[in-house]
Amino acid sequence: MITTISGERGQLTALRGAWLFDGTGPALIPDPVVVIEGSVIRDVCSGGRVPETPDSGTVIDLPGATLLPGLVDTHVHLAFDASVDPVGNLARRRDYEVVAAMVEAGRAALRGGITTIRDLGDHCYLSLGLRGRADLPTVVAAGPPITTPGGHCHYLGGAAAPTCAGIRAAVREHVYRGVDVVKIMASGGNLTPGSRQDLAQFPPEVLRAAVDEAHRLGLPVTAHAHAVAAIADAVAAGVDGLEHVSFWTEEGVDAPADLIRLIAARQIAVGATLGMVPVPGMAPPPAVAMRMPAMIANMRRLCESGTLMVAGTDAGIAPVKPHDVVRHAPPTLRQLGFSPAEALRAITSVAAGVCGLGHRKGRIAPGFDADILAVDGDPVADPEALQRIRAIYARGTPVTKEDGQGSLGAAASCRSSPVALALVSCGWRFRGDAECTEARGQVLDPLSRCPVICGSGGRRPSRLQPNQVTAAINDGMQIPR
């Protein structure tokens, strides 16, 4: 039931549910009222206490519903379309078609109650242009993952010379383009024929140089790591996160106890690749199926050792991994030993912290972003409740079924020139550039938002040509601070 209260302040919405999971607590809280002002949570009341604020605004009653934070997935690929051939489809698409598919993937996530995603591998930095859009989840972007020439996911555009100098340059380029996190492929992977999941891709000192360069420039690093050696090297290099952590060997799986202890002791965030939607006729590849029992057992050992673990689903890489798959992760997390509330925290507040957004995402508390999910029933006792969505708010705006229409914005009409894509993808448009048809006629301040040139302030050349941007990147231009 929706009641509109007329008043002078306006802009306030009060959500009234039966229960609240606030993202951090051990249990549900009865009779909550969450007051949203604009894009932020202004007040949270419970147990019949009446908020002071909504003397004006809208009260939305959701009887029988539990309010919880919008979900957070720390590992997605918007550029992969969750088909049986995501890599082939990506290769067949022109860049504007890739952007269109990424937008649709983001909207699918949002319609599934996922209000924050971390894209850990896009194509040519295209995910950076999707940040800040009202019709998508909040996007944390890694750009193309850094890999070896011909290595895992090299086709995404992030191959670097496997030397200390080469990888430092690659990290700098990512920083200049404006990524939020550096993703590095420490081992091979399943999506790339010819790459070896059981082997490290970079020498240890090169991995160390990558982490050192990223940390020096203020960015965290997460490493895709299947091979035991890749996991050990990444831990030794000082990464902030590890993805997959399958302890893959040529013959099977081998997780050394001291390595598990080290991952837990350093509180390295492990993205466990959990969450799957069963699809009839689809089975994991034999090499994965054969190793699965041991991989699950090792994940349980990591949990028992106190590892910081999140679902990190890898959404987009297969039909069993649609872009809203993280709401299917809690049952698997519980199999690993998570309590029901811990499983929900792992896809809300803990995941937000892993994305670097723990100060404003993943909790229902005053001052946090109004990313709110309402589901039928009790998602702590019954994980299936996450499939019964009643309402979704993203930064205070209700998400409707119709979301998914609308224009794609300037990036959709831009052909691929690497520099053009990079600039368009960070919101910067060429002044009069012929490649960007839609930008013509509505040219913005060309330096207004480009992190390549502007960073968060500092040097602002009056006019920079694309070749100068390339030159600046190649020269190792200092980031303005």
Q: Please identify, among the stretches 62-70, 231-239, 312-320, 378-386, the one whose residues bind Zn ion according to the rule CB under 5 A.
A: 312-320
> Beta 114-119 vs 71-76: how paired, if at all?
parallel
Structure tokens that stand for 311 in this block: 């679902």
Least separation in angstroms between residue 402's CB and Zn ion is 30
Q: Please identify, among the stretches 28-36, 155-163, 191-199, 307-315, the one whose residues bind Zn ion according to the rule CB under 5 A.
A: 307-315
Least separation in angstroms between residue 189's CB and Zn ion is 8
Q: Please identify, among the stretches 56-64, 108-116, 258-266, 306-314, the one whose residues bind Zn ion according to the rule CB under 5 A.
A: 306-314
Using the minimum distance from each CB to Zn ion, give the nearer residue, 44 or 153.
153
Using the minimum distance from each CB to Zn ion, give the nearer residue, 315 or 464.
315
Using the minimum distance from each CB to Zn ion, give the nearer residue, 95 or 119.
119
Q: Please identify, among the stretches 96-104, 314-322, 378-386, 473-481, the one whose residues bind Zn ion according to the rule CB under 5 A.
A: 314-322
Site for Zn ion in 382-411 (CB under 5 A): none
Using the minimum distance from each CB to Zn ion, give the nearer residue, 154 or 429.
154
User: Could you write out the three-class secondary structure of 243-266?
Assistant: EEEEEECCCCECCCHHHHHHHHHC
Q: Please identify, among the stretches 214-222, 313-321, 385-393, 468-476, the one whose residues bind Zn ion according to the rule CB under 5 A.
A: 313-321
Least separation in angstroms between residue 162's CB and Zn ion is 20
Using the minimum distance from each CB to Zn ion, give the nearer residue, 129 or 241.
241
Under the binding rule (CB under 5 A), the answer on residue 122 touching Zn ion is no
Least separation in angstroms between residue 75's CB and Zn ion is 6
Using the minimum distance from each CB to Zn ion, give the nearer residue, 122 or 433.
122
Cβ atoms of 34 and 57 within 8 Å: the answer is: no
Q: Please identify, among the stretches 125-133, 290-298, 308-316, 343-351, the one whose residues bind Zn ion according to the rule CB under 5 A.
A: 308-316
Using the minimum distance from each CB to Zn ion, give the nearer residue, 86 or 113.
86
Least separation in angstroms between residue 315's CB and Zn ion is 9
Using the minimum distance from each CB to Zn ion, give the nearer residue, 240 or 314.
314
Least separation in angstroms between residue 314's CB and Zn ion is 4
Cβ-based neighbours of 348, under 8 Å, separated by 6 or more: 21, 23, 68, 69, 70, 71, 72, 362, 363
Under the binding rule (CB under 5 A), the answer on residue 314 touching Zn ion is yes
Least separation in angstroms between residue 394's CB and Zn ion is 23
Residue nearest Zn ion, Cβ-based: 314
Q: Please identify, among the stretches 198-206, 309-317, 400-408, 418-426, the one whose residues bind Zn ion according to the rule CB under 5 A.
A: 309-317
Least separation in angstroms between residue 121's CB and Zn ion is 5
Using the minimum distance from each CB to Zn ion, give the nearer residue, 180 or 314.
314
Using the minimum distance from each CB to Zn ion, give the nearer residue, 213 or 314.
314
Least separation in angstroms between residue 426's CB and Zn ion is 22
Under the binding rule (CB under 5 A), the answer on residue 95 touching Zn ion is no
Which residues contact Zn ion by CB under 5 A? 314
